[in-house]
Amino acid sequence: MTKLTVSEIWRYPVKSIGGEQVAMATVLDTGIVGDRGWGIFDVESGTVLTARRAPELLFAHASLEGDDVAITLPDGTVVRGRDENGNDALSAWLGRTVELRAAGPEGGTYEVPLDFENDENWVSWQGPGGAWHDSTRSRLSLISRTSLRDWDPRRFRANVILDGAGEDELVGSAIQIGDAILDVKKRIDRCVIVTRPQPGLARDLDVLRTINAELETCLSVGALVTTEGTIHQGDLLTPL
């Protein structure tokens, strides 16, 4: 494993909606503060929408405004969590009845198609509480530029992009970034979201075909936070 340093830090305030790059971030036991702090809840299905089921989510952008969130829709409309008619605007955009919900103690129900090429054979599961994360073993995700190859990092929505290589070797160990200590629990298995179009990116099934064929379906690693702290761009990742 080569030396790994923090190149970029990202938070995604709303599940499956575009996020924002930051120079520093506070890390709590739920992950980066504000990351996946809100989700678009589909009233009819009782699930938290992701770009697996609603690919158009990736064409919006979300940012934090103090303790609130602002979502910029593709037409330029801005919806905030405190807006009285915000859910109506989101429902009109998505063509279904939805509610913007802050994460609470109960985790969300999520779905994924096992047949990613045809969006068929859907299965569902329950995520952890506290933030709209998919897995109980990943509150913060990390990926190296070497692992990214020539893929656009936006496809993978990782929290920390690292200069260097070898993050897979960290699974099962503790690491320190800044004054935060993380327990790297797993390689992150990838799904249809990495193939979805985004602003400036076309639909590309070959991304997931390659990951499945060459990387055992996984790209990036997921960690839990054992010591809360602050991380900065340029920090060195130190194995413990």
Report the C-alpha gap between 71 and 86 in whole angstroms.
10
Q: Region 49-72: what's the mean pLDDT?
A: 97
Q: Exposure pattern of 172-204 as b/e (b: 16+ CB <10 Å)? A: eeebbbbebbbbbbbbbbbbbbbbbebeeeeeb
pLDDT band of 73, cuts 50, 70, 90: very high
Distance CA 45, CA 84 (A): 23
**The pLDDT of residue 238:** 97
202 pLDDT band, cuts 50/70/90, is very high
Write the class of the CATH domain 5-239. mainly beta
Q: How would residue 2 be classed by pLDDT, with cut points 50, 70 and 90?
A: confident
What would the DSSP string read from start to end of 216-239? TTEEEEEEEEEE-EEEETTPBEEE
Work out the mean pLDDT of the chain and round it to a whole number: 97
Helix (H) or strand (E) holding 101: strand 98-102
User: What pLDDT, on a 0 to 100 scale, did the predictor assign at position 157?
Assistant: 98
Side chain identity, residue 126: Q
**Which pLDDT belongs to residue 188?**
98
Residue entry with tokens 């979502």: 71
Closest CA to 234 of 183, 175, 178, 154: 178
List pLDDT tens digits, range 206-239. 999 999 999 999 999 999 999 999 999 999 999 9
Write down the pLDDT at residue 112.
97
Is pLDDT at 99 greater than 90 in this prediction? yes
pTM for the model: 0.96
pLDDT in tens, 115-170: 999 999 999 999 999 999 999 999 999 999 999 999 999 999 999 999 999 999 99
Domain ranges of the chain: 5-239
pLDDT average, residue stretch 68-80: 97
